[in-house]
Amino acid sequence: MSKISEILEKLYKCIGAGEPRRPIAPQYVNEAVDVLQSFKVNDAKGLFYYMSAINLLNAAIKMKEYKKKLSYGFIKGKAVDIMEFIANRHNIENVRYYFNATENCLYVTVFDVVFSFHQVAKTDFILNVAAKAEPIVWPGIRLQWIAEELYLLAKEQIGL
């Protein structure tokens, strides 16, 4: 287990079961959109930052104040796009991906942190590459519940 996944597990355990989602600051939603539109992923830390931005937006879209600003097509499309990019680069260590067709869920592991995205588009990459990858087991940590903290941790990891 990586130090990052240990930090996240501790954060997650601090949240009470049934506690409502905490608000996400508009500043971070705007930043995360910018990340998905312009950030260039070159290494595992950059991918962790990018995936954390996707996770933050995936959490934010469920909140009333962001429903009109965000779209699932944009968010989940970026998850598929970045995995296709990673698959074609083959040089980013500590990264795995897997599409579980039964659950209709794309799993991505970076630094032992498992991101999951349900209902992604079933592209050729998803069906012919990610679906045939080694399965990833979801550890039960709902990253959307700690989306802002995760994003800030990832931002810190890349020195921003």
Question: What is the average pLDDT score of the chain?
Answer: 87
Q: Is 105 inside any structural domain?
A: no
Helix (H) or strand (E) segment spanning residue 45: helix 44-60
More confident residue, 160 or 59: 59
Give the structural domain span for 31: 3-93+141-157
Percentage of the chain surpassing pLDDT 70? Answer: 85
Per-residue confidence (pLDDT) for residue 1, from 0 to 100: 45
Residue 32 lies in a domain: yes
Residue 124 domain-assigned (yes or no): no
- Number of domains the chain contains: 1
pLDDT above 60 for 17: no
How far is Cα 146 from Cα 141, in angstroms, rounded to an integer?
9
Q: Is residue 49 part of a domain?
A: yes
Distances in Å between the alpha carbon of 3 and those of 6, 7, 36, 42, 74?
5, 6, 25, 21, 30
Higher confidence at residue 84 or residue 92?
84
113 within 8 A of 4, measured Cβ to Cβ: yes
102 located within any domain? no
Band of residue 7 on the pLDDT scale cut at 50, 70, 90: low
pLDDT band at 111 (very low <50, low <70, confident <90, very high): confident
114-139 average pLDDT score: 93
> Which residue from 140, 93, 120, 110 is spatially nearest to 50, judged by alpha carbons?
110
Average pLDDT value for residue range 34-51 = 94
